[in-house]
Amino acid sequence: MATLKLPHWLFPTLVIVLMAGVVVTNRYLQPGQAPLSITCADLPNGCTVRLDDREVAFGIQGELKVLAPFEVWVKAPEAKAVQASFAMKDMDMGFNLYTLRPDPQGIFRAHVTLPVCVTGRRDWVMILDIDGHKLMTPFVTQM
């Protein structure tokens, strides 16, 4: 009986497929994957919210205008990874993802510049990702 000879590319291919599977699983099956929606009436003043087991404060510094940079800040004690992205409801506004970096006080910050919407809409949603926990906040940019 002939021995079954496996092609030499089979093992590396299996490893790659397995690794891709792990990445996809991590991305889509994170704990608390349902985003928490919160209305923050005054983003420049900041808002505080309980996100799972953590008290999180967030806000912006500067003016909420398109094409002009403003700063997003997040206070999330002991957070490891904080990211922000911006979207419009029912509209693809393109890929934008900002990684917030902690300042010496441990407040996560990033400078953000929003594009102009081709339809003239000004309603945005900020999506904060804090260690895989998502927080969504609608806001409207100034004219």
Of 20, 51, 55, 56, nearest to 33 (Cα)? 51
| Cβ-based nearer residue to Cu ion, 17 or 118 | 118
Please work out the total of residues on this chain that contact Cu ion, with binding judged by CB under 5 A.
Answer: 4
Collapse the DSSP code of 7 into the 3-class scheme (helix H, G, I; strand E, B; otherwise coil) and give the result.
coil
When asked if residue 121 is in the footprint of Cu ion (CB under 5 A), the reply is: yes
When asked if residue 122 is in the footprint of Cu ion (CB under 5 A), the reply is: no
Binding span for Cu ion by CB under 5 A among 5-13, 19-27, 85-93, 129-137: 85-93
Nearest distance, CB of residue 136 and Cu ion, angstroms: 16
Torsion angle, alpha carbons of 112, 82, 76, 64, to 10: 20
Q: Which of 20, 23, 24, 91 lies at the binding interface for Cu ion (CB under 5 A)? A: 91
Kindly report the length of the chain: 143
The rounded distance, in Å, linking the Cα atoms of 9 and 22 is 20
Residues that bind Cu ion (CB under 5 A): 88, 91, 117, 121
